[in-house]
Amino acid sequence: MKVRQVCGENIVITQGDQGVDMTKVIALNESALHLYHTFADKEFALDDAVAALLEAYDVDEATARRDAAAWVAEMQQHGLIVD
């Protein structure tokens, strides 16, 4: 999957199964885009995502953990990452 910038928004477009139009557009904010690029095509754990946010942004660990968990859940929901 590639991230595209459309009208100032960073988006990922996913395709549904053959013959079924299940196309989804997922918008990524700055931190979600950072995580997406950091872990694209790599195995990682939630703690790795937390560490990446702590390194890149001035946030506390609780905020980084909450945001990383939300990002992982959203990416899993859209099939962009799997367990």
List the alpha helices (DSSP H) in the chain. Answer: 30-39, 46-56, 61-77
∠ CA 17-18-20, rounded to 5°: 70
pLDDT for residue 3:
79
Q: Which residues, in sequence order, are bridge partners of residue 5? A: 10
Question: Residue 15 — very low, low, confident or very high, per pLDDT cuts 50/70/90?
Answer: low
Q: What share of the chain is helix, strand, coil (3-state, %, to 5)?
A: 45, 20, 35
Question: Residue 82 — very low, low, confident or very high, per pLDDT cuts 50/70/90?
Answer: confident
Please write the tens of the pLDDT for every residue from 31-81: 999 999 999 889 999 999 999 999 999 999 999 999 999 999 998 988 888
- The residue ranking higher by pLDDT, 35 or 10, is 35
